[in-house]
Amino acid sequence: MTALLLILAGFVPVVGSAPELEYGAVPEFSDYASGIPVVTYHHITNIQSKYSATPYRLRSDLQQFYDAGFFLILPSDIEDGLRRVPMNRRPLMITFDDGWEDNFRYTDSEEHLDPDCAVAIVNSFIEEHPDFGRGVVFFISWDKVPFGNNTEEKLNAVLDMGHCIGNHSADHLSFTRLPPSRYWEQIIPALNSFHRKLGLRTSQINVVAYPGGQIPRNSGAESTLAAMEYDGRPAVLQGYLVDGAVGNFRRLYETQGNEYRISRIDMALYSVPSLLGWSNIMVKSEARPNLHDDLPWRP
């Protein structure tokens, strides 16, 4: 009866809603949701394909995510305990895979971005909505010329704009077909290619999205990735799948190796309204009384 009244009052009870927590208490995993949706796009174009979204669709998705209370995070925010996320906002990471020209295109000169390319759409939305956070991730593979042309200038511009660049391998070979002992053949040469364009800024490239979207379980893949070094630093701090799931912040910290299995959702397959129905995305956090406090389970 109470539930019915709540529903009538416009209150939809969600299974697993956040309990009242005293600061410092560790929430029960089972009844506490801390989902981090990471969505991915590929082509942004009006040409329809299996891996494309139109510029109109991207603008509309950004608006819907914003209206639903999301706040843009970058991989570094996961390392940092999501401290930048205001307490009345939910984290969301937006990624673009492959580095197609429609992700970053100039019109006539290098002074004017094509307003329909991904980076221009994101930049103008962020400018108009400064409380949306700032920054998305471009995962670049080197099986083609990244961003089509002017790669050095564009990669640097992406970093200047406050976005993140991730490693999407040298040849875009599916990691499901490579034994973990050979992952380095795809990760290290890609970093060498980044280094030729970005020099010292290559140190900022420390997350990988696996071509093919998966790595095998129980194969030692995670420890292989954790041990890989480039220029005296870890080559891979985080690894991103495409599995249509929502990563869980606590599980990420509490289970070793899970930072190499961060879930992503391919937006060619889902709409924002469908995602908003997933309870592990929309359950609201009450665990942090103040924006500047650490999350209770931060290591």
Contact predicate 66/58, CB 8 Å: no
CB nearer Zn ion, residue 143 or residue 153: 143
Which DSSP category does 236 fall into? -
> What residues contact 9, with CB distance under 8 A and at least 6 apart?
none
**Shortest Cβ distance from residue 242 to Zn ion (Å)?**
8
Taking the complex as a whole, the smallest distance from the CB of residue 216 to Zn ion amounts, in Å, to: 18
Q: How far is the CB of 281 from Zn ion (least distance, A)?
A: 24
| Binding residues with Zn ion: total (CB under 5 A) | 2
**Nearer residue to Zn ion within complex by CB, 70 or 100:** 100
Q: Which stretch binds Zn ion (CB under 5 A): 97-105, 199-207, 225-233, 246-254?
A: 97-105
Residue closer to Zn ion by CB (options 77, 98) is: 98
- Listed ranges 50-58, 98-106, 250-258, 287-295: which one lies at the site for Zn ion (CB under 5 A): 98-106
Q: Point out which residues pair with 208 in neighbouring strands.
A: 167, 239
* Among 204, 203, 137, 213, CA closest to 172: 213
**Do residues 70 and 246 lie in contact, with contact meaning Cβ atoms separated by under 8 Å?**
no
Residue with Cβ nearer Zn ion (98 or 101)? 98
Q: Which residue, 97 or 101, has its beta carbon nearer to Zn ion?
A: 97
97 binds Zn ion (CB under 5 A): yes
What are 4's two structure tokens? 């019915």
Buried b or exposed e, range 48-66, using 16+ CB within 10 angstroms: eeeebbebebbbebbeebb
Query: Which of the ranges 48-56, 75-83, 96-104, 190-198 carries the binding residues for Zn ion, by CB under 5 A?
Result: 96-104
Beta strands in the chain (DSSP E): 35-36, 38-41, 43-44, 52-53, 70-72, 90-98, 137-140, 164-167, 207-209, 229-230, 233-234, 238-240, 247-248, 265-266
Q: According to the binding rule CB under 5 A, does residue 137 interact with Zn ion? A: no
- Is there binding between residue 98 and Zn ion (CB under 5 A)? yes
Of 213 and 247, CB closest to Zn ion: 213
| Rounded least distance, CB 99 to Zn ion, Å | 9
Report the nearest approach of Zn ion to the CB of residue 21 (Å).
39
Q: At closest approach, how far in Å is the CB of 141 from Zn ion?
A: 6
Q: Least distance from C-beta 39 to Zn ion, angstroms?
A: 14
Enter the DSSP assignment of 114: -
Please choose, out of 89-97, 113-121, 155-163, 224-232, the segment that lies near Zn ion by the rule CB under 5 A: 89-97
Per CB under 5 A, the segment of 29-37, 78-86, 95-103, 248-256 that binds Zn ion is 95-103
Q: How far is the CB of 178 from Zn ion (least distance, A)?
A: 14
Site for Zn ion in 8-47 (CB under 5 A): none
Distances (CA, A) of 223 to 130, 190, 217, 237, 264: 39, 20, 12, 11, 21
Residue number closest to Zn ion, CB atom: 97
Short-list 87, 144, 147, CA closest to 120:
147
User: 294: buried, middle or exposed (CB in 10 Å: 19+, 13-18, 0-12)?
Assistant: middle
Q: How far apart are CA 110 and CA 107, in angstroms?
A: 7
Give contact residues for Zn ion (rule: CB under 5 A).
97-98
